[in-house]
């Protein structure tokens, strides 16, 4: 991982490089910040810079034997600990059990999230953890001296998901670290980490990616228009992982916006026959997309309500959504917003309970007619 591959975060890069240049690398530090801001990528770039045989002033060389191994995540002095899941064949999982998958996942992109990691493992519905027995694996990994570099580095991704017994053992290691070892903890919820561990680590806050930096990156990487890139940056709130997800699902969003506009227009006009037809069409799209549409509708109603309150800078809308909402938002107000939410949530429950889709959406559209009038 080159520092130059990391989006923005110039301040953090500078600070980390300074630690190395001034020979002040702490034996344990914490990179803390929101999801999708590149803090794990920073941790890897930092470790690689320390191992690089021929570093430039502000980046790795990328070609020395250490860099080559780092880029494949195969350097013997680089260790990872990360949340994992149990499975029918792995009852007591440790990070090492999933290393081939982790390597493949991380090589694809160092912008990670629990959700995409679980998707990669095909375990979307599981809550991954760092289990108690991981502590033995950590001790084993660190029992040797560094093989090829001056330091060995252990990157712990999401230590807030670590079992308490394991955390206590980690505390001992952080208190009395093995020689020539650097721990880098990468966290999204520092307040959920043992206070005694926190007090032993230098804490470095890594902010979300600046909106204008993310906008420029999305334009360059995906060739999308400035306006669209801007709205994706804003909605994803500086989270690159989420921005990628939005770009991939934009087609579906356009479909949901279209359905939302149809429903609201027909309900406003009290056009019962077309609404009946619309309900039949919604029935046909299948349960998953029905649920996504209802979730989308909740978000758009909320944004329109906020827009109506004139708090423009709180708005998270794409350009197309904005174009519609400018005129529509005046219909969403304190007299109907709560009831609209309740009706959508009722429809969500009914879809979950397998109530006939045609009925659910037709009932919903009748309620929308009544509520738009208030």
Residue 345 CA to residue 253 CA, distance in Å, equals 20
Q: To the nearest whole angstrom, how small is the minimum distance from the Cβ of residue 59 to Zn ion?
A: 9
Q: To the nearest whole angstrom, how small is the minimum distance from the Cβ of residue 26 to Zn ion?
A: 23
**Residue with structure tokens 């909605």?**
235
Residue number with CB closer to Zn ion (67 or 263): 67
Does the footprint of Zn ion cover residue 132 (CB under 5 A)?
A: no
Residue number with CB closer to Zn ion (61 or 129): 61
Residue number with CB closer to Zn ion (67 or 368): 67
Residue 133 CA to residue 6 CA, distance in Å, equals 33
Under rule CB under 5 A, which residues in 43-62 are in contact with Zn ion?
Answer: 52, 60-61
Angle between the N-to-C axes of helices 134-141 and 164-175, in degrees from 0 to 180, rounded to the nearest 10: 20
Residues facing 178 on adjacent strands? none
Residue number with CB closer to Zn ion (44 or 307): 44
Q: To the nearest whole angstrom, how small is the minimum distance from the Cβ of residue 205 to Zn ion?
A: 28
Q: To the nearest whole angstrom, how small is the minimum distance from the Cβ of residue 42 to Zn ion?
A: 17
Residue number with CB closer to Zn ion (52 or 306): 52
∠ CA 164-169-170, nearest 5°, is 90
Q: To the nearest whole angstrom, how small is the minimum distance from the Cβ of residue 147 to Zn ion?
A: 16
Closest CA to 228 of 265, 253, 256, 260: 253
**Cα 116 from chain centroid?**
8
Residue number with CB closer to Zn ion (64 or 261): 64
Determine which helix (DSSP H) or strand (DSSP E) holds 17, and give its type and residue range: helix 10-21
Residue of the chain from 25, 64, 247, 261 that contacts Zn ion (CB under 5 A): 64
Q: To the nearest whole angstrom, how small is the minimum distance from the Cβ of residue 66 to Zn ion?
A: 5
Instruction: Provide Rg for the chain, Cα atoms.
Output: 25
Residue 301 CA to residue 372 CA, distance in Å, equals 12
Q: Are 33 and 208 in contact (CB under 8 A)?
A: yes
| Number of residues lying near Zn ion (CB under 5 A) | 5
Q: Give the x/- contact pattern for Zn ion in 184-223, rule: CB under 5 A.
A: ----------------------------------------
Stretch that binds Zn ion, among 63-71, 153-161, 225-233, 300-308 (CB under 5 A): 63-71
Q: Give the x/- contact pattern for Zn ion in 326-365, rule: CB under 5 A.
A: ----------------------------------------
Residue 93 CA to residue 293 CA, distance in Å, equals 37
Q: To the nearest whole angstrom, how small is the minimum distance from the Cβ of residue 181 to Zn ion?
A: 21
Residue 161 CA to residue 85 CA, distance in Å, equals 12
Residue number with CB closer to Zn ion (70 or 105): 70
Closest CA to 184 of 159, 162, 163, 209: 159
Q: To the nearest whole angstrom, how small is the minimum distance from the Cβ of residue 206 to Zn ion?
A: 23
Under rule CB under 5 A, which residues in 263-322 are in contact with Zn ion?
Answer: none
Residue 101 CA to residue 121 CA, distance in Å, equals 7
C-alpha dist (Å) from residue 270 to 52, 224, 259: 69, 38, 16
Does the footprint of Zn ion cover residue 67 (CB under 5 A)?
A: yes
Q: To the nearest whole angstrom, how small is the minimum distance from the Cβ of residue 49 to Zn ion?
A: 8
Residues facing 326 on adjacent strands? none
Residue number with CB closer to Zn ion (45 or 85): 45
Residue 256 CA to residue 291 CA, distance in Å, equals 11
Q: Which residues are at the interface with Zn ion (CB under 5 A)?
A: 52, 60-61, 64, 67
């Amino acid at each position: 991982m080159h520092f130059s591959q990391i989006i923005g975060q110039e301040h953090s890069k500078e600070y980390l490089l300074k630690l190395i240049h001034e020979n002040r690398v702490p034996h344990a530090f914490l990179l803390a910040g929101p999801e999708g801001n590149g803090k794990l990528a920073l941790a890897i770039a930092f470790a690689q810079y320390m191992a690089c045989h021929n570093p430039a002033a502000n980046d790795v060389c990328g070609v020395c034997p250490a860099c080559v191994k780092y880029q494949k995540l195969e350097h013997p002095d680089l260790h990872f600990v990360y949340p994992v899941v149990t499975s029918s064949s792995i009852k007591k999982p440790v990070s090492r059990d999933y290393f081939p998958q982790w390597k493949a996942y991380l090589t694809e992109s160092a912008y990670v999230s629990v959700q995409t990691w679980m998707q990669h493992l095909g375990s979307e519905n599981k809550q991954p953890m760092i289990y108690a027995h991981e502590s033995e694996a950590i001790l084993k990994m660190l029992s040797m001296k560094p093989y090829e570099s001056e330091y060995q580095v252990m990157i712990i991704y999401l230590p807030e998901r670590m079992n308490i017994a394991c955390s206590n053992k980690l505390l001992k290691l952080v208190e009395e670290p093995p020689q020539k070892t650097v721990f880098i903890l990468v966290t999204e919820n520092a307040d959920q980490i043992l206070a005694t561990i926190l007090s032993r680590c230098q804490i470095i806050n890594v902010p979300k990616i600046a909106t204008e930096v993310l906008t420029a990156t999305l334009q360059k990487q995906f060739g999308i228009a400035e306006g669209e890139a801007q709205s994706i940056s804003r909605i994803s709130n500086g989270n690159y992982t989420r921005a990628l997800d939005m770009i991939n699902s934009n087609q579906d969003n356009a479909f949901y916006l279209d359905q939302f506009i149809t429903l609201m227009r027909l309900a406003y006009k009290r056009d019962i026959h077309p609404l009946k037809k619309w309900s039949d069409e919604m029935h046909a799209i299948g349960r998953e997309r029905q649920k996504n549409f209802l979730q989308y509708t909740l978000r758009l109603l909320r944004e329109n309500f906020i827009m109506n309150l004139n708090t423009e800078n709180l708005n998270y809308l794409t350009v197309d959504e904005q174009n519609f909402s400018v005129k529509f938002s005046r219909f969403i107000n304190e007299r109907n917003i709560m009831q609209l939410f309740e009706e959508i949530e009722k429809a969500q429950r009914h879809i979950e309970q397998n109530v006939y889709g045609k009925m659910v959406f037709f009932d919903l559209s009748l309620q929308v007619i009544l509520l738009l009038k208030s």
